[in-house]
Amino acid sequence: MPQKILLVDDDLSSIRLMSNVLMDLGAIQFATSGQDALRLIHEQAPSVIVLDSEMPGMGGFELCQILKSNPVTAEIPVVFVTSHATEDFQVTGFDLGAADFIAKPVSPVLLLARVRTQLRLAQATSELHRVATTDALTQVPNRGRFDEVLQVEWARCRRAGEALCLMMIDVDHFKLFNDCYGHPAGDACLMRVAQALRAVCLRPGDMVARYGGEEFVLLMPKTARAGGMHMASRVLAVIADLGLPHAASLTANHVTVSVGLGIYDAESPGWQPGGNESRELAVLALPLSAEDLTRAADRALYAAKVAGRARAYRLDVGDLDEAPSSVEFTAAN
């Protein structure tokens, strides 16, 4: 992935100077205010931010504090450019989470060296994070990474008034599969299932993760119940179409999955629309959480297994006390 450098300075001549120095290190973006910088950062996070400590309106320290308080942006390295070289000033910046300081007037050689170092560190950190959050067997994100992304997407959907669906997917009679074919074959089966689930995801925002054992999750932002039910049917069909033999299965002669679909959309009790209306109705909305969406999907999965497996059930996040409903299509039919 190409490196992205965000320059934040209210002085356009400084931005031009720094752009010329850093242009060979990656794609350059710039903002002339803290508010503009926040907008760009939330649209696409940069690899490193070079930030003027003193700007009208939102100053550099305030912007850094906002970024470091948000888990989504907290790890972006911030290099301050400042005319203040005092020890106390720099200590304050480091306490806020700054990665480095460069004194004005900016030395091109020093700027290049400092930013290159931060890019290398950011790349190494990103790779360590990728390894730590990837399931070693299936090479899809692991449970820890899913938990992180779920919290972010839940907060986004509640804030923006966007739908969110979560699928829990369980390989049917997997213990019997291992007993029949052996654990190496079981590992190969899980890898094939993970690859098939990845192929089902056609949008960059969709996320497949291994939840644990033979269980996977599929998180679908901006997806209402009709889209979620369609995806559940596709998952059932795609896994059945793999044609992986399962002579010990009590459901079919091939590998199948059971699916539970948790739904949060405009038809859900406790739905919170976006914008000003969202803030006005927030007090009236049910105190729903990301964990409620997980519980809905889990309860729906349990219902699918009780009903005979190789099928999908759905449950609305606001109806946890209700019985899950069957998705219209099942792979067993």
307, 311, 312, 313 alpha-carbon torsion, rounded to 10°: -10
Q: What is the DSSP string of 261-303?
A: EEEESTTSTT---SHHHHHHHTTTS----HHHHHHHHHHHHHH
Under 8 Å between Cβ of 332 and 252: yes
Cβ count near 174 (within 10 Å): 20
Under 8 Å between Cβ of 217 and 166: yes
DSSP state of 322: S
Both structure tokens of 265: 């959309």
Single out the catalytic residue among 153, 162, 214, 215. 214
Q: Is the peptide bond before 108 cis (omega within 30 degrees of 0)?
A: no
Under 8 Å between Cβ of 9 and 104: no
Q: What is the DSSP string of 189-245?
A: HHHHHHHHHHHH--STT-EEEEEETTEEEEEEET--HHHHHHHHHHHHHHHHHT--B
- Amino acid at residue number 197: L
Under 8 Å between Cβ of 161 and 273: yes
Under 8 Å between Cβ of 72 and 45: yes
Question: 3-class secondary structure for 111-171?
Answer: HHHHHHHHHHHHHHHHHHHHHHCECCCCCCECHHHHHHHHHHHHHHHHHHCCCEEEEEEEE
Does residue 214 have an active-site annotation? yes
Q: Cα–Cα distance between 133 and 327 in angstroms, integer?
A: 32
Q: Cα–Cα distance between 206 and 227 in angstroms, integer?
A: 12
Catalytic machinery residues: 214
